[in-house]
């Protein structure tokens, strides 16, 4: 006896899917202001989780004391540098905007060219002859663009305010994740296992390894180079050493290294007659500038073996997509995706035949006589 198949209620299925989509969209819309802060906090907590456990063992097994110490460390490493950067931008942006937007901008006379051996006097006379003959007209044409460009760059300081907000959210979420890290990790693993069984669980573990590798290889290297470079600037008497140290950390995060800041400082010292301190900073810059070649590969391979070009692409692309916080989020996303992709590809064996044989077999399959 044949059983009658129950009719499929298409309307119910469609309405159920639509309801789920609406709920997911509404939830994402509500938590959207906190997503980047939570992602940043997750990156920081995963990277520093072994440090938290070590502190907890040292502090008589008290999680609360370990969380307090980690919070203070995050304040020193993230909040204080950002506060110094914002303060420096606010203090120095006013005169810069006033100078760029004023109507009294003139090309500099560059009197110091006279002190350059051999060609200095000729360069000075040629430069001033150009100014006297048409420098005013040139400056009149260039002035509007300088003012607009400078105002635009200073206007981007609003992004720093957004970055400060994400720093605060990162600190808050980090405290919560430090306190309940095991439960949160188990929740993510449970959800991944529900989606893709063992593959999903393995993907979460691989993601954690990739996050730790990026944090160790990129962020720690940038902090080490920036701090050591800042010490060199402060010892040799370079003004605004704190601000320049923050700029150096930023340059190291975008994989430019500390030399774009250190080389002009060395030139300035030699030009000011401080040849001894200039030589000291030159030697110190050689050491600091090459540290990343030693530290970064070692730290990245402590977490996961990731291509350096992937880290570089993630840093630059993340900064373009998400702003300053993308420096941390971008390489993490690419590293996690790369690790999952790599494991998925290597589950299948590599092809054993040569490329020529593969093409030949394909041609044989497409030939008219292959179906006979």
Sorting pLDDT into bands at 50, 70 and 90, what band is 372?
A: very low
Instruction: In whole angstroms, give the CA distance from residue 184 to residue 54.
Output: 19
Instruction: In whole angstroms, give the CA distance from residue 177 to residue 183.
Output: 9
Q: What is the mean pLDDT of residues 67-75?
A: 91
Helix ranges restricted to H, the chain = 10-58, 63-74, 80-101, 120-130, 136-155, 157-179, 181-214, 221-235, 241-253, 259-271, 275-290, 292-303, 308-322, 326-345, 355-366
Give Cα separations from 181 to 55, 178, 188, 282, 334 (angstroms).
15, 5, 11, 45, 23
Give Cα separations from 176 to 30, 70, 171, 325, 344 (angstroms).
20, 12, 9, 20, 33
pLDDT at residue 288 greater than cutoff 70: yes
Percent of the chain whose pLDDT exceeds 70: 72
For the stretch 170-194, pLDDT in tens is: 889 999 999 998 999 999 999 989 9
Instruction: In whole angstroms, give the CA distance from residue 285 to residue 264.
Output: 11
Q: Nearest-5° angle of CA 68, CA 71, CA 73?
A: 115
Please state which of the ranges 54-58, 160-164, 217-221 shows the lowest mean pLDDT: 160-164
The predicted pLDDT at position 65 comes to 93
Please state which of the ranges 131-140, 144-153, 187-196, 337-346 shows the lowest mean pLDDT: 144-153
Please state which of the ranges 31-45, 295-309, 322-336 shows the lowest mean pLDDT: 295-309
- The listed range with the strongest mean pLDDT (168-182, 298-312, 353-367) is 168-182
Q: What is the mean pLDDT of residues 235-260?
A: 82
Sorting pLDDT into bands at 50, 70 and 90, what band is 320?
A: confident
Q: In a 3-state reduction of DSSP, which class is residue 238?
A: coil
pLDDT at residue 215 greater than cutoff 60: yes
Q: What is the mean pLDDT of residues 255-260?
A: 84
pLDDT at residue 260 greater than cutoff 60: yes
Instruction: In whole angstroms, give the CA distance from residue 222 to residue 215.
Output: 10
Q: What is the mean pLDDT of residues 89-95?
A: 57
Q: Which residue has the tokens 């957004």?
A: 162
* Interacting residues of 268 by C-beta distance below 8 A, sequence separation 6+: 238
The predicted pLDDT at position 305 comes to 62
Sorting pLDDT into bands at 50, 70 and 90, what band is 167?
A: confident
The predicted pLDDT at position 86 comes to 62
Give the residue with greater pLDDT, 53 vs 309. 53
Q: What is the mean pLDDT of residues 104-124?
A: 63
Sorting pLDDT into bands at 50, 70 and 90, what band is 115?
A: low
This prediction has a pTM of 0.66
**Contact present, 337 and 206 (Cβ < 8 Å):** no
User: Roughly what angle, to the nearest 10 degrees, separates helices 157-179 and 10-58?
Assistant: 80
């Amino acid at each position: 006896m044949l059983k009658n198949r129950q009719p499929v209620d298409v309307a119910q299925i469609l309405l159920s899917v639509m309801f789920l989509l609406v709920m997911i969209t509404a939830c994402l819309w509500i938590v959207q202001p906190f997503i980047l802060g939570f992602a940043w906090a997750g990156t920081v907590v995963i990277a520093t989780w072994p440090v938290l456990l070590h502190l907890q063992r040292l502090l008589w097994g008290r999680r609360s004391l370990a969380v307090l110490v980690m919070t203070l460390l995050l304040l020193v490493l993230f909040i204080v540098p950002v506060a110094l950067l914002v303060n420096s931008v606010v203090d120095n942006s006013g005169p810069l905007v006033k100078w760029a937007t004023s109507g009294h901008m003139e090309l500099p006379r560059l009197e110091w060219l006279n002190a350059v051996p051999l060609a200095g006097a000729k360069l000075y006379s040629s430069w001033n002859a150009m100014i006297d003959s048409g420098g005013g007209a040139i400056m009149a044409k260039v002035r509007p663009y300088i003012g607009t460009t400078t105002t635009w760059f200073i206007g981007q300081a609003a992004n720093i305010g957004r970055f400060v907000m994400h720093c605060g959210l990162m600190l808050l979420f980090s405290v919560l994740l430090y306190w309940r890290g095991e439960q949160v990790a188990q929740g993510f693993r449970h959800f991944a296992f529900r989606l893709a069984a063992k593959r999903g669980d393995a993907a979460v573990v691989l993601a954690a390894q990739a996050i730790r590798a990026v944090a160790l290889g990129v962020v720690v290297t940038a902090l080490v180079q920036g701090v050591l470079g800042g010490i060199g600037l402060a010892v040799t008497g370079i003004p605004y050493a704190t601000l320049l140290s923050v700029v150096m950390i930023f340059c190291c995060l975008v994989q430019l290294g500390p030399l774009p800041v250190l080389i002009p400082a060395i030139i300035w010292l030699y030009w000011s007659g401080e040849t001894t301190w200039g030589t000291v900073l030159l030697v110190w810059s050689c050491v600091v500038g090459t540290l990343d070649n030693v530290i970064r590969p070692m730290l990245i391979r402590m977490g996961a073996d990731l291509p350096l070009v992937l880290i570089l692409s993630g840093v630059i692309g993340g900064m373009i997509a998400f702003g300053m916080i993308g420096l941390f989020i971008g390489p993490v996303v690419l590293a996690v995706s790369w690790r999952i992709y790599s494991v998925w590809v290597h589950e299948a064996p590599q092809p054993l035949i040569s490329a020529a044989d593969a093409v030949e077999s394909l041609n044989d399959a497409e030939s008219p006589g292959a179906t006979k």
